[in-house]
Structure 1
Amino acid sequence: MLTLTAAQWNGWLALYLWPFVRILAFVMVAPPFSDSQIPARIKVGLAVVLTLVIAPTLAPPPAIEVGSPAGIWITMIQVMVGVALGFCVRVVFAAIGAAGELISIQMGLGFATLFDSAQTESNMVIGRFLTLTALTAFMAADGHLLLLATLHDVFTTFPVAPGLIEAGGWLERGKAGLLIFSFGLRLALPVIGILLVVNLALAVLSRATAQLNPFAIGLSATLLAGLVLLALVFVSLAPLLTEAVQHSLEIGARALRSASPAE
């Protein structure tokens, strides 16, 4: 009769449990998997499938019992690593949403808001539209495959072990937020600049022509100019978004690479 020892059971459990915890944390945080409209059972099922595919290709886990204090500590570290990687992706889409809200204000649509189920708050309609367009373009450009490939590579960069990220790694990840939000500003700055010129031209025109109603013409002119500029932004949105996500994930991988095992 086939008999299994407690060490064998623990080895099999550790082989799948710790990668599953990291993958599930990543899926719960990183767009587009983290959308609140996706049922939790689907997210857990996706994490299970990915774990079954990725776990057999990884190095053997450390010989530590899963239920021991060291095993619980490793589990907490996997949660932190998964959340950190997911945050790398989420901050890019947050920057795009912020750029859309700036554009919405300049277009005169700051009053138009709707409820964002992903952020559980009301956002301006242009910001939400730009975020949805970015998600669609990201998926069409196989961005989800980039996320999964990076998730697999990080298991090599930062294997399952009782190690923490050094302070320098967290500092580098914090500085990366400035670079990512500069991407959002770069995306919105041309539209904001041109709309500012349009508003200034309308102000001069209404000052020179007393009969001109700036409220009747100004809103239509800025709205039309904003829609035309948004159409131009959408042309270059997909490559810029893919570049920003890849750059953010590379920074996150470098931060994890600076980890030192703490036995």
Structure 2
Amino acid sequence: MLELSDAQIGGWVASFLLPLFRVGALLMVMPVIGTAIVSTRVRLFLTIAITLAIVPVLPPSPEFDALSLQGLLYIAQEILIGAVMGFSLQLFFHLFVVAGQIIAIQMGLGFASMIDPTNGISVPVIGQFLTMLTTLLFFSMNGHLVVFEVLVESFTTMPSGNGGLLTDQFWLLANRLGWVMGAGLLVALPAITALLVINIAFGVMTRAAPQLNIFSIGFPMTLVMGMIIFWIGMADILSQYQRFSSEALSWLGELVRAR
């Protein structure tokens, strides 16, 4: 008859439980998978499946009592690590949302908004378009596989039960918040510059011919020219995505290796 000791059962539970919480926290926070469009049950099944697949190649986890204070601290630490990784990916996706909002406001299309099904908030149509485009590019270029590779590597660089206080990770994450605004502005810069020239031209026309109704002419022209400029700018969106996605994924690797 097979007999199992408490130590053996505790070791098996620890080897599965801690990676489960880190993987689950990442999937609950990361873009697309962690949004409302994917049900909680599906995310739970993905968490269990990914954990079962990666546990055999992970370094051994410390043995602990799951109901003790030490066990709760280990679990909280794993949740924080996974959440920080997922939030860093959210920053990458939101830079395109920021770019879309800047372009929409500049071209006078800021009033045209729709409900974002992933976040449940109202966003400009251009920002939602860039979000969907970024999502398709992310999965078509296997960005999710790179994220899972970094996740598996994080168990070596930040072992379960030995992740420290995550002070360096939170500091790097806080410094990255300014990167979102700068990158979003860089993506929208060509459209902003072109629309600024158009607005200056309308200002000169109004100065030269005060009787001209600039509101009845300028607003439709700015809107139409803004759409044309945005369409032309889509020719360079792939190179911009590759640049910022490479930077974001490499930074994600640096995040889990920070000490």
Structure 2 CA distance for partners of 1:235 and 1:28, relative to 1, 3 Å: farther
- Matches of 1:147 and 1:163 in 2, distance apart? 19
Offset of residue 252 of structure 1: 4.0
TM-score, normalised relative to structure 2: 0.91
**Per-residue CA shift, 1:146-182, capped at 9, x if unaligned?**
2222222222221212432453443222112222331
Query: Which residue of structure 1 lines up, in the alignment, with residue 44 of structure 2?
Result: 44
- Judge conservation of contact 1:31–1:90 (CA < 8 Å) in 2: yes
- Matches of 1:65 and 1:249 in 2, distance apart? 35
Number of residue pairs matched? 259
1:187 equivalent to 2:191? Answer no
The letter of the residue matching 1:126 is I
Q: Which runs of 5+ in 2 are unaligned?
A: none
Query: Which residue of structure 1 lines up, in the alignment, with residue 62 of structure 2?
Result: 62
- Matches of 1:74 and 1:62 in 2, distance apart? 9
Offset of residue 234 of structure 1: 2.8
- Matches of 1:11 and 1:126 in 2, distance apart? 51
TM-score, normalised relative to structure 1: 0.90
Offset of residue 27 of structure 1: 0.7
- Matches of 2:47 and 2:192 in 1, distance apart? 41
**Per-residue CA shift, 1:56-105, capped at 9, x if unaligned?**
11011112222221111110001000000001100111221111111101
Structure 2 CA distance for partners of 1:119 and 1:170, relative to 1, 3 Å: same
Structure 2 CA distance for partners of 1:28 and 1:246, relative to 1, 3 Å: farther
SS where residue 181 of structure 1 aligns?
helix
The letter of the residue matching 1:241 is Y
SS where residue 163 of structure 1 aligns?
coil
Structure 2 CA distance for partners of 1:40 and 1:192, relative to 1, 3 Å: same
- Matches of 1:145 and 1:222 in 2, distance apart? 41
Query: Which residue of structure 2 lines up, in the alignment, with residue 199 of structure 1?
Result: 199
Structure 2 CA distance for partners of 1:83 and 1:245, relative to 1, 3 Å: farther
Query: Which residue of structure 2 lines up, in the alignment, with residue 72 of structure 1?
Result: 72
Query: Which residue of structure 2 lines up, in the alignment, with residue 133 of structure 1?
Result: 133
Most deviating of 231-240 and 54-63:
231-240
RMSD: 2.0
Query: Which residue of structure 1 lines up, in the alignment, with residue 218 of structure 2?
Result: 218
SS where residue 11 of structure 2 aligns?
helix
Query: Which residue of structure 2 lines up, in the alignment, with residue 122 of structure 1?
Result: 122
- Matches of 1:130 and 1:251 in 2, distance apart? 22
Q: Which runs of 5+ in 1 are unaligned?
A: none
SS where residue 236 of structure 1 aligns?
helix
SS where residue 62 of structure 2 aligns?
coil
Most deviating of 249-258 and 64-73:
249-258
- Matches of 2:31 and 2:239 in 1, distance apart? 17
- Matches of 2:233 and 2:159 in 1, distance apart? 40
Identity of aligned residues (%): 32
SS where residue 12 of structure 2 aligns?
helix
Offset of residue 122 of structure 1: 1.4
